[in-house]
């Protein structure tokens, strides 16, 4: 039993999965923030002038 526990504690294969999950999470946050910023700039550049001229 102690040998099995020692092998379990020294196994690092699950750490790689966790690292990839964290990278994916942070990458999705960056993509979300970038699209919100770009969307706001495009809205100010294209939508607002057209909307103002229609009224």
Backbone angles phi, psi at 12, to 5 degrees: -115, 15
Between CA 30 and CA 38 the distance in angstroms is 12
Helices of type H across 1-55: 2-10, 13-42, 48-54
Q: What integer is the mean pLDDT of 21-33?
A: 96
Between 27 and 53, name the one with better pLDDT: 27
Handedness of CA 23, 28, 33, 39 (dihedral sign): positive
Q: What integer is the mean pLDDT of 28-55?
A: 91
Whole-model pTM? 0.59
């Amino acid at each position: 039993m102690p040998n099995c526990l020692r092998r379990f504690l020294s196994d690092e294969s699950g750490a790689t999965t966790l690292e990839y999950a964290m990278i994916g999470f942070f990458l999705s946050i960056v993509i979300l923030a970038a699209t919100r910023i770009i969307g706001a700039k495009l809205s100010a550049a294209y939508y607002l002038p057209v909307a103002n001229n229609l009224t």
